[in-house]
Structures are given as structure tokens and as C-alpha cells.
Structure 1
Amino acid sequence: MGTFNSKNENADAIVCPHCENVHGNYDEYLEVGDMSGEFEMECVKCGENFKVDFYSVVWFKTEKA
């Protein structure tokens, strides 16, 4: 899992804004091909609902064959 900050801004992990629990399983909220969107989820630790906005980034690296 990647890094995240306590302010929960631009994280590459889903962090509950109520208790800061890190959520690793979000597959059920995404459809194949989704590049951005939003959804609500319930924290498995504290039980609070929160909103998640997401976007995907694609980058390329090249090297000589």
C-alpha cells in the first residue's frame, strides 16, 4: 500500500476521515474501466460513512530493448 497523509488529501490509499483507518479493499466499489468517479463507503473500524472521490493516473516508462 502507498503513502498517505493525515489530512487525507491526494492519498493513494482510502483513509477514513473519522478514525484514519486505512482501507485496502475497495474493488467492490469500482467497475472495470473506471478512471474517475465517486462513491460512499462505510468504515469497517468505526462504522461511519464517508465519501470517496477518485481518479486514476497512467504513466509510461520506456527503455531500450
Structure 2
Amino acid sequence: MMELENGTAQDFRRSSFCNPDGGCVEVARGTRGAAVRDAKNPAGAVLVFTEEEWTAFVRGVRAREFD
């Protein structure tokens, strides 16, 4: 697993678009990339992406490639 600088639990943030019951993911950013986890299960699995992977994903979201 890639280590994120300051990648502690308080670094995870939810989108303002999440529904009230926690039906979303949380993201933590570090100098080496991003970590993503299920907001309903913060103690569960964490997916870690390099900076390049995360940048490509965000570009795709902004370009509406996943709609």
C-alpha cells in the first residue's frame, strides 16, 4: 500500500453531494496521491491511487467520461 503523507482518518473528506445516510466515498489527498474509502465503513478497505492515476480519474470526471 502506498503511504500518504498525513493520511490519517481526519484527512478523509466527503463530497457535499453525499446523501445523509453516508452513501458515498471519502477521499484523502497526500503528496503522493489519493486514498478512497467507503463512508459507511471507514475501518474497511482503502483504495490508494498514485498522483498520476488520480489526476487521470479527475480529468475523466470533469470531461463527463463516466456519465
TM-score (norm 1): 0.30
Q: Which has the larger radius of gyration?
A: 1
TM-score (norm 2): 0.30
Question: Which structure would you say has the larger RCO, counting Cα contacts within 8 Å and 6 or more residues apart?
Answer: 2
Q: When you count helix as a share of all residues, which structure comes out higher?
A: 2
